[in-house]
């Protein structure tokens, strides 16, 4: 009987607590279910977006960048912009911008190429793509002899993985400015970071050798 009374007291206490807090608990449970369902829906949405973006990107890069004429470059750029607009939250948007920039550069549309690169540098989801875009912007700036701008662009690249190409381009800028001693130092630093089996290593070594 004592046990039954104790059990009844606990039940009465629970009922009193529930009368006081039951609505709040119910709301919290419903909110948790809604949040979980929303998260699951968001994950499903993102997965479907990523799959569609991957398909669009693979279609884009199936185009050859050899002998790209103005018409083909504009078509590639249009397709890349669609990916940038529809799938900006995926890594493929930045990659598409980089690919389009190379097509436009091949077609001698440097201004349009730089516009794509600047989009990638600002909006790409992958840090490496941002750095690659900056490298290519610096290359375009060197081509049009905007040497100070190119140097400033290179100074903004802080990923050690790009030290080789960064210093190789810096050497080119210094050579153009007739600063041969500083150019030697830049080329030497570039060689220390570049793949000894790579083409850029060979070209940089040639430039260094030419300085004596």
pLDDT tens, residue by residue, 6-34: 666 666 666 666 676 667 766 766 666 55
**Per-residue pLDDT at 83 exceeds 70:** yes
Residue with tokens 């389009």: 100
- Tell me the CA distances in angstroms from 92 to 1, 16, 106, one per residue in order: 72, 57, 21
pLDDT at 102: 94
pLDDT at 19: 73
**Per-residue pLDDT at 139 exceeds 60:** yes
- Which of 64-68, 76-80, 81-85, 155-159 has the least mean pLDDT? 64-68
Closest CA to 87 of 54, 112, 62: 54
Residue spans per domain, the chain: 64-146, 159-212
Q: What is the mean pLDDT of the chain?
A: 85
- Tell me the CA distances in angstroms from 33 to 21, 30, 39, one per residue in order: 19, 5, 10
pLDDT at 199: 92
pLDDT at 127: 94
Instruction: Collect all residues with Cβ–Cβ distance below 8 Å to 94 and sequence separation of at least 6.
Output: 120, 123, 124, 125, 126, 129, 130, 133
**Per-residue pLDDT at 47 exceeds 90:** no
pLDDT at 119: 96
């Amino acid at each position: 009987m004592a046990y039954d009374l104790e059990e009844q007291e606990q039940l009465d206490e629970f009922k009193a607590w529930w009368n006081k807090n039951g609505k709040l608990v119910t709301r919290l449970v419903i909110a948790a279910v809604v949040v979980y369902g929303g998260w699951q829906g968001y994950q499903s949405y993102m997965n479907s977006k990523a799959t569609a973006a991957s398909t669009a990107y693979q279609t884009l890069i199936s185009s050859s960048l050899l002998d790209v004429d103005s018409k083909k470059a504009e078509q590639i750029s249009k397709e890349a912009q669609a990916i940038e607009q529809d799938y900006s939250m995926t890594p493929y948007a930045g990659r598409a911008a980089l690919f389009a920039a190379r097509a436009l550069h091949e077609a001698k549309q440097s201004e349009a190429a730089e516009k794509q690169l600047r989009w990638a540098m600002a909006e790409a989801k992958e840090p490496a793509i941002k750095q690659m875009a900056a490298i290519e912007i610096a290359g375009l700036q060197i081509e049009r002899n905007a040497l100070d701008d190119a140097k400033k662009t290179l100074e903004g690249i802080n990923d050690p993985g790009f030290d080789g190409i960064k210093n190789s381009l810096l050497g080119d800028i210094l050579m153009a400015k007739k600063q041969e001693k500083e150019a030697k130092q830049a080329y030497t630093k570039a060689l220390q970071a570049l793949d000894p089996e790579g083409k850029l290593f060979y070209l940089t070594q040639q430039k260094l050798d030419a300085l004596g």
